Amino acid sequence: MSLTLQPGGSASRALPAASTRSGVVAGTQQTTRPITTGTSVLGIKYRGGVMLAADTLCSYGSLAKYKDCRRLTGVNSRTLIGASGEYSDLQTISDLLRRNALEDRCTADSLYEEDNNEECAGEVWSYLRAVMYNRRNKMNPLWNDVVVAGFQQNADGTTSDSPFLGVVDKIGTAYEDDILATGFGGYIALPLMREKYRPDMEEGEARALLEDCLRILFYRDCRALNRVQIAKVTQEGGVLVSDPYELDTFWDYKGFQTNKGELGTDGGW
């Protein structure tokens, strides 16, 4: 309530607006913390393409609630994105990129030259960097770390031979690399990928490495699941996203079976 001056110099308190008295405050509500979240996304360059991997679990706080949330999606025929963080914000980003792709196609000089009118992966990455930084400056960030994979574009609009892999976080920080991991994967999976990575890896080797990392994340990350998706971008085949499938797991390791309470510790596993 605000103070107002009455005739005679006496001060009194002005009554609040009706909406405030009823407990309803108008205005835009910002996301102060993510609620329904997905965990790590892994990315790797290999000979002839780029590959991303992620599980399909979205946790509602600490509850593993939604087990078919697909966080890898194609933007166009040569660009793929995957994201960890708030799932609703990922849906917002996906809708925004698809709307831009449709607008580019509808305003192109020729509808028969679709490949030449599509944004390449580097352009999508730069655009997302601006979007994330803009939302951060408005104190209403999109709570995601977005991995962008695909191919660059030649001057004549054709697809380049050089693959692209970059990441943008929720405050607009962006960088490129040959291997990337978001979320908890940046602590557990990234060191393993650095140890095993080679620039001349074949597609099968890259997929096996990503599956091994996802399996270890399932063992060690409380927000991970062994139901995963793999997606790739190649020059010839474009974007391909697999259906979800389950990884085989092995729980007979001695460290998983031994009760640590027997070793004089606090009784935990």
Q: pLDDT tens digit string along 224-236?
A: 999 999 999 998 8
Give yes or no: 234 in active site.
Answer: no
pTM: 0.81
* % pLDDT > 90, the chain: 62
Euclidean distance between CA atoms 87 and 25, whole angstroms: 27
Closest alpha carbon to 118 in 75, 162, 86: 75
Check whether 263 has a pLDDT greater than 90: no
Asked whether residue 49 carries a pLDDT value surpassing 70, the answer given is yes
Average of per-residue pLDDT across 115-138: 88
Higher pLDDT, 266 or 60: 60
Q: What are phi and psi of 134, to 5 degrees?
A: -65, -45
Look at 266 and 215; give whichever has higher pLDDT: 215
Q: Does residue 264 surpass a pLDDT of 70?
A: no
Q: What is the rounded CA–CA span in Å between residue 242 and residue 22?
A: 51
Catalytic residue among 4, 20, 28, 31: 31
Question: What is the rounded distance in angstroms from the CA atom of residue 115 to the CA atom of residue 132?
Answer: 27
